[in-house]
């Protein structure tokens, strides 16, 4: 069974979003997504300060089986990336909501939040 914490937000494309404060969020891929992909062997992260619109390709995760895009769940600018993933992409499998986070975004418009899914809705999407 996949783990879907209720205190964070989700997208249909399997990103999770945690609100750090009113203007900044942390983004990763869900437990369901990492389980579907299988063991990750490579993560390509965005450059710092790069700006994205909602739905832009922001990162790539590659498993033993396949490659998958990670989309910017909200519009904003990259303020941090998880550099530990370069040497240890498996952190995404082991701890998708913690040590396996991908990047942080400074939001262009915090009102976009209402476009995200709750844990209940996301779980229903995956079922």
Partner 1 sequence: MTHKTPLYDMHLQLNGSMVDFCGWELPIHYTSQLQEHQFVRQAAGMFDVSHMNVVDLKGQDSKKFLEYLLANDINKLTFEGQALYSCLLNEKGGVIDDLIVYWIAADHYRLVLNAATHDKDMAWINHHANQFHLTIQEQPNLAMIAVQGPKAIALFQQATRLSVEDLKPFSGRFEKTNWIARTGYTGEDGLEIILPANDAPVLWQKLLKVGVRPCGLGARDTLRLEAGMNLYGHDMNETTLPYEAGLAWTVACKNDREFIGKTALLMAKAKGIQYKFIGLLLEKGGVLREGQKVIDDSGREGIITSGSFSPTLNCSIALAKVPDTMSGQLSVDRRGKLLSVKVVEPPFVRNGKVVYKENSNV
Min dist. Cβ of residue 126 to partner 1 (A): 18
27 versus 61: smaller Cβ distance to partner 1 = 61
Contacts with partner 1 by CB under 8 A lie at: 38-39, 41-42, 44, 60, 62, 64-65, 67
Answer whether 63's CB lies under 8 Å from 17's CB: no
26 versus 34: smaller Cβ distance to partner 1 = 34
Min dist. Cβ of residue 26 to partner 1 (A): 24
What would you measure as the largest C-alpha separation in the chain, in angstroms?
Answer: 38
Q: What is the DSSP string of 8-26?
A: SEE-TTSEEEEE-SSSEEE
Min dist. Cβ of residue 39 to partner 1 (A): 5
| Tokens read off for 119 | 């844990």
| Tokens read off for 19 | 């609100």
| Tokens read off for 66 | 């396949």
44 versus 123: smaller Cβ distance to partner 1 = 44
């Amino acid at each position: 069974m996949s783990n879907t914490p209720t205190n964070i937000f989700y997208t249909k494309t399997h990103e999770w979003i945690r609100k750090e404060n009113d203007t900044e969020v942390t983004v990763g891929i869900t437990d369901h997504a990492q389980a579907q992909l299988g063991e990750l062997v490579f993560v390509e992260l965005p450059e710092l300060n790069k700006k994205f619109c909602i739905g832009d390709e922001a990162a790539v995760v590659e498993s033993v089986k396949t490659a998958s895009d990670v989309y910017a769940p909200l519009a904003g600018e990259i303020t941090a990336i998880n550099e530990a993933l370069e040497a240890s992409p498996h952190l995404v499998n082991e701890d998708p909501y913690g040590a396996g986070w991908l990047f942080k975004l400074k939001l262009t418009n915090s009102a976009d939040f209402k476009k995200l899914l709750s844990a209940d809705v996301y779980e229903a999407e995956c079922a």
